[in-house]
């Protein structure tokens, strides 16, 4: 098998919790707890889980917007986690990010043209003022905006249009991989579909690869080649989108999937309501992190032994003592 475009290996990110009079580290939040996955060129990996499960932290560690505590990230055969400042700047031509909040991620004092074109200046990709403006216009039109909107400011745009501006900014450097960090969560449902369709069109047009982060399975269903489900810092299941939606193996995936509406009004899916809330990531449950909420747990096995992510069939991995 050829080398994947991105390989994440045993990624860990702990945040210090400070307390006491001297503000010393008294504990740690275990945000990402040994996450591993690969993404092949041209595919979309959906990364799904409830808020606080570590999915956005994982995405930011890939670009080193956040420094991982341990583990490795490999992109096109180079170890991203070991890159110096200059090499990291070069990497960010190939790997871009689209943020969740199109209101907060655009500088309100910059025109749309300056926002979209900023990376052209950083990476010296425009040889003249004219070339800069031509490229910005091209990018705006690529995402469905008008050329004359380049002199306007972000507050003059709707949420969906602002997310298009964020996408144009990411496209400016012709990246290979885009980390889409909940790009539609802040948008109305009708606008979500438009933005997802745009991302699919751009993928086909430019051969892009996506890590698409979302908090529910309905958002990633159509755009994903494969889906990884995260719970409390760990990946509990990875499979092709088709296999995961047709026959989920992990009880947590089953619960998430039971909340996804079915388009056929005659079909029924029984909703699985999990007990309790997601536990505190400062002190996650022992053994399987999910055992405090799992409807099929077996004690003491599930509370004492950590389940390993095991391969069950081609491309289907699950971390559960009882499934697979
Ligand atoms: Fe449930 Fe046990 Fe499987 Fe964890 S390992 S998901 S607690 S059955």
pTM over 0.85: yes
Q: At 314, is the pLDDT very low, low, confident or very high (cuts 50, 70, 90)?
A: low
Summarize pLDDT for 122-139 with one digit per residue, the tens. 888 888 999 999 999 999
Q: At 58, is the pLDDT very low, low, confident or very high (cuts 50, 70, 90)?
A: very high
Domain ranges of the chain: 6-94+175-274, 110-173
Nearest protein CA to atom 8 of ligand 1, as residue = 297
Which residues lie closer than 8 Å to 9 by C-beta, 6 or more apart? 36, 71, 72, 73, 74
Q: What is the arithmetic mean of pLDDT over 208-233? A: 95
* Separation of alpha carbons 78 and 82, rounded Å: 9
Comparing C-alpha atoms, which of 240, 267, 237 is closest to residue 255? 237
pLDDT value at residue 277: 85
Lowest mean pLDDT among 45-59, 100-114, 211-225, 266-280: 266-280
Summarize pLDDT for 62-111 with one digit per residue, the tens. 999 999 999 999 999 999 999 999 999 999 999 999 998 877 889 999 99
**CATH among 1.10.760.10, 3.40.50.300, 3.30.360.10, 3.40.630.30 for 6-94+175-274:** 3.40.50.300
- Of ligand 1's listed atoms, the one at least distance from the Cα of 251 is 6
pLDDT value at residue 36: 97
User: Mind giving me the DSSP string for 226-295?
Assistant: EEEEEETTEEEEEEEHHHHHHS--SHHHHHHHHTSPPS-TT------PPSSPPPPTTSPPSSSTTTTT-T
The tokens 């964020």 sit on which residue?
166
H or E stretch at 6? strand 6-19
Residue 1 clears pLDDT 60, i.e. is over it: no
Averaged confidence pLDDT in the chain: 93
Confirm if 142 and 204 have CB atoms less than 8 A apart.
no
The tokens 């690869």 sit on which residue?
209
Q: Which residues line ligand 1 (CB under 6 A)?
A: 250-251, 288, 290-291, 294, 296-297, 302, 307, 320-322
* Separation of alpha carbons 303 and 298, rounded Å: 8
More confidently predicted of 266 and 85: 85
Nearest protein CA to atom 6 of ligand 1, as residue = 320
Residue 243 clears pLDDT 90, i.e. is over it: yes
Distance 235 CA to ligand 1 centre (A): 13
pLDDT value at residue 199: 97
* Separation of alpha carbons 149 and 132, rounded Å: 15
């Amino acid at each position: 098998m050829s080398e994947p475009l991105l390989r994440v290996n045993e990624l860990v990110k702990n945040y210090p919790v400070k307390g006491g009079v001297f503000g010393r580290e008294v504990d740690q939040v275990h945000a990402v707890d040994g996450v591993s996955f690969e993404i092949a060129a041209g595919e979309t990996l959906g990364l799904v889980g409830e808020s606080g499960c570590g999915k956005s932290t994982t995405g930011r560690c890939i670009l080193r917007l956040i420094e991982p505590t341990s583990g490795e990230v490999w992109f096109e055969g180079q170890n991203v986690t070991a890159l110096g400042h200059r090499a990291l700047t070069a990497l960010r031509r190939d790997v871009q990010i689209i943020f969740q909040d199109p209101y907060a991620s655009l500088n309100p004092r910059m025109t749309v043209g300056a926002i979209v074109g900023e990376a052209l200046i950083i990476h010296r990709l425009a040889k003249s003022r004219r070339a800069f403006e031509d490229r910005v216009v091209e990018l705006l039109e690529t995402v469905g905006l008008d050329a004359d909107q380049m002199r306007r400011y972000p507050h003059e745009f709707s949420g969906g249009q602002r997310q298009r501006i964020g996408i144009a900014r990411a496209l400016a450097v012709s990246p290979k991989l885009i980390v889409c960090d909940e790009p539609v969560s802040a948008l109305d449902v009708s606008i979500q579909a438009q933005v997802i369709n745009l991302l699919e069109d751009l993928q086909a047009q430019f051969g892009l690869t996506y890590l698409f982060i979302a908090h529910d399975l309905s958002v990633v269903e159509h755009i994903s080649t494969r889906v990884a489900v995260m719970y409390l810092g760990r990946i509990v299941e990875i499979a092709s989108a088709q296999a995961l939606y047709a026959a989920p193996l992990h009880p947590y995936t089953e619960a998430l999937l039971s909340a996804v509406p079915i388009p056929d009004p005659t079909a029924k899916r029984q909703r699985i309501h999990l007990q309790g809330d997601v536990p505190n990531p400062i002190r996650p449950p022992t053994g399987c992190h999910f055992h405090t909420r799992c409807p099929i747990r077996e004690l003491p096995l599930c509370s004492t032994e950590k389940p390993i992510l095991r391969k069950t069939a081609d491309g289907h991995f699950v971390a559960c003592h009882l499934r697979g």
